[in-house]
């Protein structure tokens, strides 16, 4: 074998090893970022990764034989095969290169270099490729270990941001509107902001920033004047989250949008969800105000313990703000808002029954803050859908109802209600409810019954949750079912009518 060919084989193997390491670091960090940097989720990632991609461990024998050119060639071919088998078939999001990710990437380079130097000094590797093969085989573990080492530094940095945010809160003393619930938080936040922004200085948390770090960023970057209104979305995926947020940012007006089964993998029970969300109301002082959705039986039946004033919204006449004469189609919703023996005519481009309650919540907050009724009516008429939340998109052939941001059982059924307004062929694309914990089978099987009543065609994204829907559809004698591996494949099957895209499948399910 000519020597220059041996050099080419070895150099190619080194280059591909580096590229494979970068690829694995990127995938691991994206999962880490998607799980809000929770280190304990690393164990789940390792289990999922090595269960599905066990063939990475077959790189270990290469460590001892990569001094031979033909083994380098086999190794090179094996790396290419590994990449083709491992690369995600579908990706909903990409790794976002935040300051934290850049810091972590810098540390990873230093960490890998230092660790490699120590290993080369103490272990008689025959080739640099041997070390690289070892790195690739355990790259997810190494990346999480590097993140573990930087965790104390990140905690200190976050602490600095939290302290700065607290100082700004104390300095500018905004009126804080806190919004929580199982669904509708971002929508209601946006609607409240739209009704207030022309009447008073108003800031809101961007996108779906609803964690302690997200609220700190909002306060540090946006809050800049005294006595402004600060509209904050407050999320909770486990017990203690709301309590942590209200201890950090005391709330003056609390809005509870909806409570239903969501994040049951961490909350375990609906009772835990209710108790956690209602801590926002419990935190109010005697000057505080709570806006509660009484169409939600979990909220209506809850024994509220709060010093603040309670204002109720819904579609029954016993609510302080209620909607009557509701009309809905794919062009929008129309209803009469009744309050204090007065009526307000509401017309909106938004769709879906749950948006009636979202609009009522925004109206109640605006009136508490003395926004004029005509300003409210005009403002509601201009509301637009939050992207991927019952967002209707039309062309000459297909109407898409994009409700892909996330889902829960109640939101799923309300989205089906919107789909049922269509007069043409009705199709749903969904992976089902993928974060339902032990209740997954019951919840998704139940959804299949409603799907069968509304839809002409069902396209399921393959995962465990959609298998329960599939079985439920078959048991209900529904036959027009397709099962595909990606949303791209699902879209390709739709050629006409109206299609509901209900829920996405987080990239963490494509490990």
| DSSP-assigned states of every residue in 62-92 | GGGTTTSHHHHHHHHHHHHHHHHHHS-S--S
pLDDT at 90: 54
Task: Supply 79's token pair.
Answer: 């790396």
List, for residues 372-410, the tens digit of each pLDDT value: 999 999 999 999 887 778 888 887 788 999 888 777 787
pLDDT at 492: 86
CA distance 175 to 248: 14
CA distance 408 to 478: 23
Break the chain into its structural domains and give their ranges: 3-153, 173-381, 391-510
Hey, which residues does 256 pair with through a beta bridge? 180, 292
Architecture of domain 391-510: Alpha-Beta Complex (3.90)
pLDDT at 91: 54
pLDDT at 89: 60
CATH says 173-381 is which class? alpha beta
Range 137-157 average pLDDT: 89
List, for residues 148-199, the tens digit of each pLDDT value: 899 899 889 989 999 999 999 999 999 999 999 888 888 999 999 999 999 9
| DSSP-assigned states of every residue in 94-118 | -----HHHHHHHHHHHHHHHHHHHH
Range 307-327 average pLDDT: 93
């Amino acid at each position: 074998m000519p020597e220059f060919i041996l050099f080419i084989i070895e150099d190619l193997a080194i280059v591909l090893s580096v590229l494979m390491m970068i690829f694995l670091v990127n995938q691991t960090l994206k999962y880490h970022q998607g799980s809000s940097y929770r280190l304990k989720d690393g164990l789940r990632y390792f289990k999922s990764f090595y269960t599905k991609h066990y063939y990475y461990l077959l790189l270990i024998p290469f460590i001892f034989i990569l001094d031979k050119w033909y083994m380098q060639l086999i190794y090179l071919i094996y790396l290419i095969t590994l990449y083709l088998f491992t690369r995600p078939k579908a990706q909903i999001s990409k790794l976002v290169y935040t300051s934290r990710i850049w810091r972590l990437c810098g540390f990873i380079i230093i960490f890998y270099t230092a660790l490699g130097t120590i290993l080369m000094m103490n272990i008689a590797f025959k080739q640099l490729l041997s070390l690289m093969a070892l790195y690739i085989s355990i790259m997810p573990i190494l990346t999480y270990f590097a993140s573990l080492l930087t965790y104390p530094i990140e905690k200190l940095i976050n602490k600095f941001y939290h302290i700065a945010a607290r100082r700004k809160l104390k300095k500018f003393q905004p009126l804080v509107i806190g919004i929580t619930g199982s669904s509708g938080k971002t929508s209601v936040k946006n609607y409240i902001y739209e009704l207030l922004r022309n009447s008073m200085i108003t800031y809101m948390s961007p996108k779906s920033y609803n964690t302690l770090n997200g609220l700190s960023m909002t306060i540090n970057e946006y809050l800049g004047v005294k006595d402004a209104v600060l509209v904050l979305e407050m999320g909770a995926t486990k017990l203690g989250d709301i309590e942590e947020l209200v201890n950090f940012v005391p709330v003056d007006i609390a809005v509870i949008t909806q409570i239903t089964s969501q994040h049951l993998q961490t909350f375990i029970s609906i009772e835990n969800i209710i108790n956690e969300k209602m801590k926002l109301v419990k935190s109010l002082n005697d000057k505080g105000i709570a806006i509660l959705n009484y169409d939600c039986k979990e909220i209506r039946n809850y024994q509220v313990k709060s010093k603040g004033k309670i204002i109720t919204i819904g579609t029954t006449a016993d609510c302080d703000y209620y909607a009557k004469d509701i009309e809905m189609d794919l062009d929008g919703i129309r209803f009469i808002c009744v309050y204090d023996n007065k009526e307000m005519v509401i017309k909106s481009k938004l769709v879906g029954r749950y948006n009636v309650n979202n609009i009522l919540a925004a109206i109640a907050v605006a009136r508490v803050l003395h926004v004029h009724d005509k300003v409210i009516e005009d403002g509601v008429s201009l509301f637009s859908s939050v992207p991927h939340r019952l967002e209707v998109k039309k062309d000459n052939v297909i109407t898409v109802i994009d409700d892909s941001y996330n889902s829960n059982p109640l939101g799923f059924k309300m989205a089906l209600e919107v789909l049922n307004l269509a007069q043409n062929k009705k199709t749903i694309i969904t992976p089902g409810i993928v974060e339902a914990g032990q209740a997954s089978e019951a919840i998704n099987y139940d959804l299949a019954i409603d799907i069968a009543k509304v839809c002409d065609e069902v396209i399921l994204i393959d995962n465990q949750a959609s298998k329960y829907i599939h079985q439920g559809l078959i048991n209900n004698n529904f036959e027009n079912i397709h099962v595909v591996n990606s949303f791209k494949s699902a879209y390709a099957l739709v050629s006409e009518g109206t299609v509901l895209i209900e829920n996405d499948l987080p990239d963490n399910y494509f490990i």
